Structure formats: structure tokens, C-alpha cells
Amino acid sequence: MLNPSLRCTAFSGSNRIATGELRHVALKAKQAFDLHPQRPVLIFEDASGGQLDLPLELPAADLLRLVAQPLLRQAEPPASPRKPGRPKLGVVAREVTLLPRHWDWLAAQPGGASVALRKLVEAARKVLSAEDQRRASQEAAYRFMQVMAGNEAGFEDAARALFAGDNHRFEVLIQSWPDDVRDHVSLLSVDAFAG
């Protein structure tokens, strides 16, 4: 199911027609589709740069009904009577394969292997979050670029500059692209050049 408050951007050809929540963007995309059915209308998720497929040929009311449906959540199983022991904390047991020396080190840590692993994961998440954000921005910009600028002059060199973190070269290479496409690529790639 689609999230009606998902942030998106729609294009009709190379012209940006709407940016905002999916329910708003879907209606604008539908209007553009009805006005110029021969021109492609594409909707992109802003966070990932991925393309969303919406049935724009539906009547507007049906399309809005489809988009406005709340996310379906899995029904929670009925609560069973409390049993003795530790309370359920939402912890999921999974298998981890380590060498014996790793298990020995983990077992010697205060709180045992589980506590030590959780601390290591949290520390790594803090260190890698900026790198993860940079990578996500690169991937979002690249996904969008492939669809909207794959045939534009300098596309391949711009993609190389994007992944190399060369902001100046990237901006020079995308300068000749259609204004709205260039502006949206720049917006999606802003974190790709941070740091």
C-alpha cells in the first residue's frame, strides 16, 4: 500500500508539475496526464529517487481513493496470559556466525554477548550515519538521473562525478540539462557532496 503522505515529485516531460505529499502530487499528475496524454507523466519518491507507478488513466476519484488508503498494518496477535520470566521487549533472535575467538571476546564483555553486540552496532551506526546519508543521496540522485536525464549530454560523466563526490564538476556537467530536471537532481544530490 502507498503512504498518502509520502513526499514525491511529478514531471510531465521534463517539466516539474508538483512536489509534496503523494495525494497532492497524484492529483496534479492526473490533471497533467488528462491534459496531454501523449506526454509521459512520471512520479518520483523524493527520498529514494525511485519511480512510482500510479494508474493515471483511472478517474480522479478512484486514483485519490487508491492513494488515500492508509497503510495496512499487520494485526497484532491476541495477548496471551503472562508467563514467568523476562518480559517480551520486541527482541528478535537471529543467528550470528563468528569465529571462536570472537565468541570468547564477546562472552568476556560485561553483560555478555548480546549487550556487547548491541553496543558495537550502535557505535557503528553513529560513525556510519553520515556515510550512509551520502550514499543514499547519491543513489537517489542517480535513480532519478537515469530516468530523466539518461539521454542528456554529459550524463555518464555527471554520474561519475556524483559518485566521486566532485560537486563542481557535477554542477558544470548538468548545467545544460532542462531546468526542472537539473534543479531536482541538485536537490536530491545535496547530501552526496556533504563532508
- 58-108: per-residue pLDDT in tens? 998 998 888 877 544 434 455 556 666 655 666 666 777 777 887 888 888
List CB contacts of 141: < 8 A, sequence separation 6 or more. Answer: 49, 162, 185, 188, 189, 192
150 is a domain residue: yes
Q: Which of 68, 92, 109 is the last residue of a domain?
A: 68
- For residue 95, being part of any structural domain is answered with no
Residue 160 in any domain: the answer is yes
Instruction: Please tell me the predicted confidence (pLDDT) of residue 71.
Output: 45
Q: For residues 108-134, b (16+ Cβ closer than 10 Å) or e, as one string?
A: eeeeebeebeeeeeeeeeeeeeeeeeb
Q: Which residue has the higher pLDDT, 37 or 140?
A: 140
Give the integer Cα–Cα distance in Å for 64 and 183. Answer: 28
Which of 19, 43, 68 terminates a domain? The answer is: 68
Averaged over 150-157, what is the pLDDT? 96
Residue-number span of the structural domain to which 64 is assigned: 7-68
pLDDT grade for 131, boundaries at 50, 70 and 90: confident
- The answer to whether residue 172 sits within a structural domain is yes
In a domain, 145, yes or no: yes
C-alpha cell at position 126: 553513529
Domain presence at residue 106: no
Q: How far, in Å, CA of 50 to CA of 117, rounded?
A: 33
Instruction: Quote the cell numbers at residue 102.
Output: 570472537
Are 8 and 44 spatial neighbours (Cβ–Cβ below 8 Å)? yes
Q: At 3, which amino acid appears?
A: N
Strand, coil or helix: what is 45?
strand
Domain C-terminal end among 27, 49, 68? 68
Q: What per-residue confidence (pLDDT) applies to 1? A: 54
Q: Is residue 110 a part of any domain in this protein?
A: no
What pLDDT is attached to residue 164? 94
Total structural domains within the chain: 2
pTM recorded for the entire structure:
0.70
Percent of the chain's residues with pLDDT above 70: 83
- Per the domain annotation, does 75 fall within a domain? no
What's the pLDDT at 107? 82
Sign for the CA dihedral angle at 159, 160, 164, 170 comes to negative
